[in-house]
Chain A
Amino acid sequence: MIRPESKDKPDAPAAWQPEIIAFCCNYCAYAAADLAGARRMQYPPNIRVIHLPCTGKLAMEYVLEAFEKGIDGILVAGCLEGGCHFQEGNLRARKRTDKVRAMLDEIGIDGRRLLMVNLSAAMAPTFVERVNEIVNTVRSLGPNPLKAADSRAKCARESAHEGAVSE
Chain B
Amino acid sequence: MIVASPKCVTEVKDILARHDNVLFVGCGTCVTVCLAGGQREVGIAAYGVRMARKLAGRPIQIEQVTIERQCENEFIQDLAEAAARNEAILSFGCGAGVQALAERFPGKPVYAALNTRFLGILEEQAVWTEKCLGCGDCMLAEFGGLCPVTRCAKRMLNGPCGGSSPDHCETDADRPCIWHAIYERLRGIGQLDRLEKIQPPKNWQPAWHGGARKIVREEHRCDL
Contact = CB atoms under 8 A, between A and B. Distances in A.
Nearest to B59: A153
Interface in A48-102: 60-61, 64-65, 67-68
A65 B9 contact: no
Contacts of B52: 106-108
Taking residues whose C-beta sits less than 8 angstroms from the other chain, chain A's interface range is: 10 to 19
- Interface of A, secondary structure class, is helix
Interface in B100-143: none
Interface in B9-23: 9-10
A58 to B, nearest CB: 13
Interface in B45-73: 47-48, 50-52, 54-55, 57, 59
B48 A108 contact: no
A14 interface: no
A128 interface: no
Interface string B28-47: 00000000000010011001
A93 B59 CA distance: 30
Contacts of A164: none
B44 A150 contact: no
A146 B44 CA distance: 17
A68 B47 CA distance: 7
A107 to B, nearest CB: 5
B25 to A, nearest CB: 18
A103 B9 contact: yes
Given A61-B44, A153-B59, 8 more contacts: A61-B43, A64-B48, A67-B51, A103-B9, A108-B52, A146-B55, A149-B54, A153-B57
